[in-house]
Amino acid sequence: MALREINFDGIIGPSHNYAGLSPGNLAATRNAGAASHPRAAALQGIAKMRANLALGLVQAILLPHPRPDHRWLKALATDYAAAPPHLKAQALSASAMWAANAATVSPAPDTGDGRCHLSVANLVTMPHRSHEWPETLAQLQLAFAHEHFVVHPPVPPPFGDEGAANQMRLTASHGEAGVEVFVYGVTGGPFPARQHRDACEAVARAHRLDPARTLFVQQSEAAIAAGAFHNDVVAVANERVLFAHEQAFADPAGFYADLRRLLPEVEIVEVPAAQVSLQDAIASYLFNAQLVTLPGGEAALILPEEARATPSVWNWLQAHVAGNGPIRRLEVVDVRESMANGGGPACLRLRVVADPATIDPRFLVDDAKLDRIAEVVSAHWPETIAHDAIGDMDLIGRIEAARAELLKALDLVGFIDR
């Protein structure tokens, strides 16, 4: 099989709003109550996907979930019209757009049975995310129905699992066996540690990973307390490159020693706190960039505009590239509408190393399909959602109709709609 890294981006849904539902996510809580712009947010995400295609990357999509989530509300013995405001907000959340939290992925070269394994994240820590997994599971079972894949249900509560945002894979090349790194939290000051070690170990067992090439690494309390609610806010890896903040891990020296032992060719790029503070790294989403390998073999960072606008971050990046470091190219994208809800370019995508020919083609995109999606978004996504509008039943009708139009355009009616 011709294994490629495929980026599955979550299309930002028509209910995208700033309800501030995620304690520890500083951007989301800072913007709580502001008016959101779902149409602009989705079009920015589509533009990012288009830019990835132009770089020669393989691009795919995950779809917005049905919102409000009427099944979840029914299980709570209410409906949307009668639900109290906090349940309305949690039922309407568009947070499934953060595809990095959809699942944990272990490519075929790493697994005992030679198949690619995906485990849907349970997201139990936050109520507004805890009801995402059934729809995510349905989408992944459809997209990865080929015998090359195994799609697992989530780890049961109370063991919090937030997916690939807390997992890194390092390898000489995508098609070779790698070292899988699971990052878990224990404490985080006033904020919850969302990824539990028990969940990491359960996923590793389900994926039949080699224990000798699997690492469980603790995230630093300082990082969580500063607002790094997931590991991918302070560290990212791709092939042989690990790019991390100096304060990302509780025991960086021990982790790096284990990594060098298992993968001698690893290139560790650590950003010193003296040059880029945790606060600047988190606010700019420096490490929530997509670290990718371009067709020519060079490593590139796909960064948000906020990284370029933060002097300490941009100065460090420019010096790294000028100094002939492992990361050779910087690509800047505008995803400010999703950034305001607490996620950068990497939050919007789930990476899957697989043969594109084994993926349901309705989930793969090219420029023509992105044009079609953009037409639906431009015609049907709300332009603005005010903070006090989530009780407007006319708005709810427009949100539901917008998603239905997208399913129709992608020939998915009857497959994942509910």
Looking at 11-97, which runs of residues are DSSP E strands?
Answer: 58-62
pLDDT in tens, 355-402: 999 999 999 999 999 999 999 999 999 999 998 999 999 999 999 999
> 314-358: per-residue pLDDT in tens?
999 999 999 999 999 999 999 999 988 889 999 999 999 999 999
The candidate with the shortest Cα–Cα distance to 91, out of 398, 408, 396, 411, is 396
Exposure letters 97-108 (e unless 16+ CB within 10 A, then b): bbbbbbbbbbbb
pLDDT single digits (tens) 236-263: 999 999 999 999 999 999 999 999 999 9
Residue 406 has pLDDT above 60, yes or no: yes
Active site residues: 162, 230, 347
- List, edge to edge, every strand of the sheet that includes 327-333: 290-293, 299-304, 327-333
Alpha carbon distance 210, 180 (integer Å): 9
Query: Six-digit token pair at 183?
Result: 């990052």
Q: Give the pLDDT confidence of 15-52 residue by residue, as tens digits.
A: 999 998 888 888 888 888 899 999 999 999 999 999 99
Residue 208 CA to its chain's centroid (Å)? 23
**Residue range 262-271: mean pLDDT, rounded:** 98
Question: What does R_g of the chain's alpha carbons equal in angstroms?
Answer: 20
pLDDT mean across residues, the chain: 96
Position 418 pLDDT exceeds 80:
no
Residue 283 pLDDT > 70: yes
Which domains are seen in the chain, by residue range? 4-409 (3.75.10.20)
